[in-house]
Structure 1
């Protein structure tokens, strides 16, 4: 099995699958994370760290903020620039952001805090945030209270994020003092290709052997067929999608 570091840097090789398969973030979650620093007199300055292909970046832009996107993988940032035009992009990490001190109102990380060293990343977020700025962490997680979704996770293996959120949750360190949390439940319609791309974009699958990857994707394809037959539109009306329930979990903390 690949190391944690290898997994964290693997996504660029599957940037297309990541963009196709991963869900966007609910606007409500982004608005909630930014609410403590919202100032109607000016646009917020937000760093999207671990920005990937721009899934969170787009929603931050829709919320009316000025965004700088940071990611350790140049291939992911190249895809982001094609998806979200006019956004400055920089190679960097949660522990080392190429930003001046006290230069942003918010630092947001989507599907990314589980890859960082929370002590070092907290200190770095504290450096680049202005006083009163907000650190926001967000994950889209499949809702495993649905038995079929639990079987899907078993087929494609759990992730570091899912393990963390099922345990004690994300941790922050100085200068932050704990996290406030909220969650939102919603559903997403997925084609077979999008479901397979979602699975193929996960670090465990990207770094697996060809045989293991093919086995997992075949099992997921079988699960798609089962789900489609079971859903109301699966009885022959030609629909080629299934419904996948998600829970978005967001966290925020204010820099003193």
Structure 2
């Protein structure tokens, strides 16, 4: 199994940790989705692919969307089912969506597009979208303009050869030839240091690194951050990177 595949499947082992520690998304993100798609979320049929434990699914429903979650991992899906029992849930992958043609107004990928093969996932998203529907991809990326975040990311790159705060820029891009618009939404959250470290440890690089190495790294990180945040409360800063692509309108109309 490739490293990419191992990391993609690794989240199942930490579903509860992922759900408890990962950040959500600010209201301004969903305002931007509505603006760029030209359609309110309320009443829209939304397919949330790679839904994980339902962090984005929950927020989409709170905006009035009729959401169906698609998630391949058994434990991630079970966590979603436990907290959102009334949300329709389909086990599947973005590269082969088990859904009918033209069934959605919006297909979303929150923090999950980089685990797909765009040569397959783009046609699948366009297939399940109605004419004039939209594909929206977004990621919470820790803001490197904040000095302590830049320093942490440098430690991660140096010690783990990995940028921990999001998928690489190329992985977040759609294939050439698709017209898309992009938006960046900045926001912050204040969390206990333990939550910040649990969030960090829920990234795939740690989930496949092994318990001993992960424990050592996070212990050193705790000491670094306590020097900066002696009250034990960390202010995380994010820039949500959003990309929206509209499907072609119905030519018969």
Q: Is the 8 A contact 1:37 1:105 kept in 2?
A: no
Deviation at 1:168, TM superposition (A): 8.1
Q: Is the 8 A contact 1:26 1:59 kept in 2?
A: no
- Per the alignment, residue 148 of structure 2 pairs with 148
Deviation at 1:111, TM superposition (A): 0.7
Q: Is the 8 A contact 1:155 1:216 kept in 2?
A: no
Secondary structure of 2:149's counterpart equals helix
TM-score if structure 2 supplies the norm length? 0.89
Structure 1 regions of 5+ residues with no counterpart? 235-239
**Change over 3 Å in CA distance of 1:43–1:152 after alignment to 2:** same
Q: CA RMSD in A?
A: 2.2
1:254 is the counterpart of 2:246: yes
Secondary structure of 1:164's counterpart equals coil
Secondary structure of 1:162's counterpart equals coil
- Per the alignment, residue 251 of structure 2 pairs with none
State the Cα deviation string for residues 54-91 of structure 1 (Å, max 9, x = none).
11111101111000001110110111122223101111
Q: Is the 8 A contact 1:139 1:249 kept in 2?
A: yes
Paired residues for 1:155-194 under 5 Å? 155-157=155-157, 158-159=162-163, 162=166, 164-165=168-169, 169-172=172-175, 177-194=178-195
State the Cα deviation string for residues 6-54 of structure 1 (Å, max 9, x = none).
10111010011111211001222123224425269x7110000010011
**Change over 3 Å in CA distance of 1:98–1:31 after alignment to 2:** farther
For residues 67 and 249 of structure 1, the distance between their equivalents in structure 2, rounded to whole angstroms, comes to: 22
1:43 is the counterpart of 2:43: yes
State the Cα deviation string for residues 136-182 of structure 1 (Å, max 9, x = none).
001001111112102222334434873522x5851236xx7222000
> Of the candidates 217, 236, 240, which is equivalent to residue 244 of structure 1?
236
State the Cα deviation string for residues 97-148 of structure 1 (Å, max 9, x = none).
1110100100000111111111210000011000000000010011111121
For residues 113 and 168 of structure 1, the distance between their equivalents in structure 2, rounded to whole angstroms, comes to: 8
Paired residues for 1:45-124 under 5 Å? 45-124=45-124
- Per the alignment, residue 8 of structure 2 pairs with 8
For residues 135 and 161 of structure 1, the distance between their equivalents in structure 2, rounded to whole angstroms, comes to: 23
For residues 167 and 234 of structure 2, the distance between their equivalents in structure 1, rounded to whole angstroms, comes to: 25
**Change over 3 Å in CA distance of 1:224–1:39 after alignment to 2:** closer
- Per the alignment, residue 237 of structure 1 pairs with none
Deviation at 1:209, TM superposition (A): 2.1
For residues 54 and 172 of structure 1, the distance between their equivalents in structure 2, rounded to whole angstroms, comes to: 27
**Change over 3 Å in CA distance of 1:68–1:37 after alignment to 2:** farther
Structure 1 residues 103-112 or 12-21, which shifts more? 12-21
**Change over 3 Å in CA distance of 1:2–1:193 after alignment to 2:** farther
1:205 is the counterpart of 2:197: no
- What is the number of residues matched between the two proteins? 243
**Change over 3 Å in CA distance of 1:116–1:160 after alignment to 2:** farther
For residues 153 and 2 of structure 1, the distance between their equivalents in structure 2, rounded to whole angstroms, comes to: 25
